Amino acid sequence: MTYTITDRTIALAGIFQATQLVQNIANTGNADEQDVETCVLSIFRTDIDKPIDVFDGTEKLHTGLRKLIEQLGGHDTNTQNNQSKDLHVTKYAAGVMVLEKRLKRDADMLAKIADGIERARKQMEHFSLLHDNVIAGLADTYAQTISHLKPRIMVQGEHIYISNPNNANRIRALLLAAIRATVLWRQCGGTRWQLLFQRRTIVDEARRLLKEPLMTK
């Protein structure tokens, strides 16, 4: 299958949406439910290759597209633009890319993650997608697998929020979603070099997608 800059940009937006939601929960205890649903649902879509189908269209990734533009669009020396960058989101996004690269070399861990996702899928049949039990199941899968890889992603925020068990579970589930989006990005031919040398092209495509959202068939 041939992938395009559109596919890679959509997958990147998935990474940035999930990591932005992690940041929101860690600092405010809240996150847009529709955005969370989009990310969590993508975890279960393991048999779909096209990013647009994984996320049900780019209209559900506007948060990720905007964050991608903010984080990658500051290539110039505009001070105000540089101030809009969130270093924590950048760190989380870079972290999941490193972890995904290490994860793909560990067949046993990949199998454990697949089993955990399948257990959560069965829970989802009895509860809603964002039910505490489903989120807890995904969080446990992350805790038992990816959290053991180095370097660990250390989420920073307000203690009152990150110490809350439900928030901690949502954060881990969203980090799992970020890993899933990173897998998708790699499948589409994404590399870290592109983030350095094709920033303008990626940002321009993200801006286009915000103006002309693609719909799934």
pLDDT at 216: 44
- Dump pLDDT digits (tens) for 172-212: 999 999 999 999 999 999 998 999 899 999 999 999 999 97
Mean pLDDT of the chain: 92
How large is the average pLDDT for residues 157-161?
Answer: 97
The C-alpha torsion from 209 through 22 and 131 to 54, rounded to 10°, is 30
- Dump pLDDT digits (tens) for 80-91: 444 457 899 999
Domain 5-210 has CATH 1.10.3890.10: yes
pLDDT at 84: 59
